[in-house]
Amino acid sequence: MDILTKDTAGLAEKYKSEGVVVVRGALTPYWLEQLRAAVEEELKRGERYFAYRNMRSQPGIFQDFCLHSGIGRLVADIGGSSWASLIFDQMFVKEPGTRTQTGWHTDQPYWPVAGPILTTWIALDPVDADNGALEFIPGSHAWGKKYRPFTTDQLGSFVDYVKKDDPQYTDMPDFEAERDQHRIVHWDLAPGDLLAFDGFIVHSAMGNRTSTRRRRGYAVRFALDQARYYPNQGVAEWLEDNSLSLGDPYVSEKFPRVFNR
């Protein structure tokens, strides 16, 4: 039984041109409650923000969700792909008072993958501009830019560029300073709504300025048709895989196919 919405009409076209779409009510109450519980359990580790990643590699709710919820089909439908493989998952909790903005960035230059990557970001709480909505520059995924990766502190603030001499990357403009030159969008989300966005789209996340409203988000990254192993790119060695050669489809035991049409 599929447990995620199948109502994806029109989304693939929009995703292709904008690089980001919202799917309302994507999760059933069952999965919403399961993921919320799993996040609470994980938070007991006492880490901050960026530290919670790849939970799906251990048996448990996150893994069950990634492999068995039907999300792979949703991802392939939106991304116009015949298959989807699982890269990793990550949770982003901005507690009340976490004012730090997650700086403007693109994701894919950090990872050893060329070709299409789609992230699903699922709201586990109501999300809006006051408690940490994600912002996007629609269409920026198609600019053909590969922005230089940078390190951040555990709250997401810029620290320093890495790969400073690598000519495949360009430095990122100060999008915050030039906000008025871009079309910037965000969505207010209800729990269970899902954002799907491209690995190259320019995005950021606002701070949580509220004193009472948590903002829990659960992100899962997938590779699609034409995604290839490209270890010449990236800074995330933990996403490399010796069983793959340069140019192989990004599918392996470590990065399993979760949907195949």
Closer to ligand AKG at the Cβ: 4 or 206? 206
Say how far apart CA 107 and CA 219 lie, in whole Å: 12
Closer to ligand AKG at the Cβ: 175 or 244? 175
Quick check: 106 binds ligand AKG (CB under 6 A)? no
125: amino acid identity, one letter? D
Q: How far is the CB of 256 from ligand AKG (least distance, A)?
A: 21
**Considering only residues 104, 110, 121, 136, which one is a binding residue for ligand AKG as defined by CB under 6 A?**
121
Q: Which of residues 3-62 bind ligand AKG (CB under 6 A)?
A: none
Q: How far is the CB of 206 from ligand AKG (least distance, A)?
A: 9
Which two three-digit tokens encode residue 146?
């590969």
Read out DSSP for 185-252? B---B-TT-EEEEETT--EEE-----SS--EEEEEEEEEETT-EE-TTS-S-GGG--TT--TTSBS-S
Q: Left, alpha or beta for 87 (phi > 0: left; psi -120 to 50: alpha)?
A: alpha
Q: How far is the CB of 188 from ligand AKG (least distance, A)?
A: 15
Q: How far is the CB of 118 from ligand AKG (least distance, A)?
A: 11
Quick check: 107 binds ligand AKG (CB under 6 A)? yes
Residue span 62-101 as binding mask against ligand AKG, x where in contact by CB under 6 A, dash where not: ------------------------------x---------
Query: Which secondary structure element, helix H or strand E, spans residue 37, and what is its range?
Result: helix 29-43
240 CB contacts (<8 Å, ≥6 apart)?
112, 231, 234
Q: How far is the CB of 93 from ligand AKG (least distance, A)?
A: 9
Residue span 188-227 as binding mask against ligand AKG, x where in contact by CB under 6 A, dash where not: ---------------x-x-----------x-x--------
In the sheet that 257-260 helps form, which strands lie side by side, from edge to edge? 20-23, 194-198, 117-123, 215-224, 83-94, 257-260
| Site of interaction with ligand AKG (CB under 6 A) | 92, 102, 107, 119, 121, 134, 203, 205, 217, 219
